[in-house]
Amino acid sequence: MRLTTKGRFAVTAMIDVTMHGVRGPVTLAAISERQRISLSYLEQLFGKLRRHGMVESVRGPGGGYNLARDAGTVTVADVILAVDEPIDATQCGGRENCLDDHRCMTHELWAGLNAHIFSYLGSVTLADLVRQQQQPRGGELAVLQDHRHPAGSAASPEPVTAV
Amino acid sequence: MRLTTKGRFAVTAMIDVTMHGVRGPVTLAAISERQRISLSYLEQLFGKLRRHGMVESVRGPGGGYNLARDAGTVTVADVILAVDEPIDATQCGGRENCLDDHRCMTHELWAGLNAHIFSYLGSVTLADLVRQQQQPRGGELAVLQDHRHPAGSAASPEPVTAV
DNA sequence: TTTTAGTTGACTAAATCGTTCGGGTATTCT
DNA sequence: AGAATACCCGAACGATTTAGTCAACTAAAA
């Protein structure tokens, strides 16, 4: 699970489709203007989103993109995986050919971390994000409150925004 | 919070230092050989880690790197932030100059997502990862079991490993 | 049939990733 | 003192990714 601005652009665009798609398809030109994302870049992203079954396209005048599934069933992980090819952080590629005493330390390590991040991003749907967005000044995600954290040891001085 | 192989290399190297640093400093050459990471790349990473107060260096023969803080207080988020400069996914840069009806939709959206991912990665320490690593065939992180997930909607066909 | 809007492909500048090389400096050992 | 060790620094590199541009195409509606 890679996490870059590319995936964030895709999620932002998908939220736009969700919010403005209640009556008819949403054009990429409209998304481009509202979210300030290059139209041609959106074309690339939505090409992948369409091939991964995230959206459906309607051609011709009045056309655009609709969600292919209900907003409550499309997760952030789905969107990111559609546009961001997964990477393999383990040097053994999942096989057991790592030698000596530390047999594939990175493998199990990142498998666990990946699994959890994936699990979290797979638990947040577009509907969740839209619901949060439509509150006047919500700030935090409601669904996020549902996750507990072991409380200890964090305490980083950096501001949380724009991390 | 960007998530690439660069940060993973850094965390892997830090775990190596934690595991092998119980008696004296750990050389980059040893980490390079054990973890199969380029020595010069390690030098770049540890330069940043040192400047961010993650490790301390000992020069000369018998030298190497030690953890600057206790392994239980160094989180994965700390390490990743040290080597991976943060990105700004919001187009307004945190200020309120985004116009029209959707005032900075991406801003609050990613602020929330970032906050949660940061919160999770900030809750896993090097000590946790080493503890997990030293179990013969542990698999999952124990600390991960402490996080609940709303259960719904995920169901992705992809394997969780190497996401 | 003209316009709209998706579809595809090639192509680009810039940044990042991981690596290699070549020199430094501080410390310890002989 | 001098050699060996190991951190320190910066430049450069090919490969990949990012974000964007351009052009030509097809399907559908007015």
A43-59, pLDDT tens digit by residue? 999 999 999 999 999 99
Q: Strand C: list protein residues with Cβ under 7 Å.
A: A 25-29, 40, 43-44, 46-47, 50-51, 57-65; B 2, 4-6, 9, 37-41, 43-44, 59-63, 84-85
Provide the CB-side half-sphere exposure for B49 (13 A, CA): 32
Beta carbons of B44 and B28 less than 8 angstroms apart? no
Percent of chain A exceeding pLDDT 70 equals: 67
Per the document, the length of chain A is: 163
Closest CA to B128 of B115, B146, B141, B111: B141
Q: Does A142 touch chain B (CB under 8 A)?
A: no
Segment B32-39 shows an average pLDDT of: 91
Which is it for the CA torsion B148, B153, B155, B161, positive or negative?
A: negative
**Least confident piece of the model among A125-139, B27-41, B96-110, B126-140:** B96-110
Q: Give the model's confidence band at B40: pLDDT under 50 very low, under 70 low, under 90 confident, else very high.
A: very high
Question: Of A107 and A34, which is predicted with more confidence?
Answer: A34
Hey, which bits of A7-156 come out as E strands? 55-58, 64-67
Using CB atoms, pick whichever of A8, A100, A144 lies closest to residue B110: A8
As a whole number of angstroms, the distance between CA B77 and CA A123 comes to 21
| pLDDT of A131 strictly over 50 | yes
As a whole number of angstroms, the distance between CA A115 and CA A134 comes to 30
Q: Does B124 touch chain A (CB under 8 A)?
A: yes
| pLDDT of A106 strictly over 70 | no
Closest CA to A47 of A83, A11, A23: A83
Segment B46-54 shows an average pLDDT of: 96
Q: Does B153 touch chain A (CB under 8 A)?
A: yes
Using the CB atoms, write b or e for A129-163: b if 16+ within 10 Å. Answer: bbbbbeeeeeeebebbeebeeeeebbeeeeeeebb
| pLDDT of A110 strictly over 60 | yes
pLDDT of residue A133: 73
Six token digits for residue B12:
């892997």
Beta carbons of B126 and B18 less than 8 angstroms apart? yes
Q: Give the model's confidence band at A108: pLDDT under 50 very low, under 70 low, under 90 confident, else very high.
A: low
Percent of chain A exceeding pLDDT 90 equals: 42
Find where tokens 């119980």 sit.
B22
What angle (nearest 5°) sits at the alpha carbon of residue B46, between those of residues B124 and A118? 35
As a whole number of angstroms, the distance between CA A54 and CA A14 comes to 9
Segment A137-145 shows an average pLDDT of: 46
Could B143 and A150 be called an inter-chain contact, meaning their C-beta atoms sit closer than 8 Å? Answer: yes
pLDDT (tens digit per residue) in B102-146: 455 666 666 777 777 788 889 889 999 888 777 655 444 444 444
- For residues A11, A13, A18 and A24, what is the CA-based torsion angle, rounded to 10 degrees? -150
Closest CA to B50 of B64, B71, B31, B36: B64
Spatial neighbors of A39 by CB under 8 A, at least 6 apart, are A28, A29, A32
Q: Which nucleotides of D are covered by protein (CB under 7 A)?
A: 4-11, 17-23, 26-30
Residues of B in contact with A115 (CB under 8 A): 140, 144, 160-161, 163
Segment A102-128 shows an average pLDDT of: 76
pTM (predicted TM-score): 0.80
pLDDT of residue B30: 95
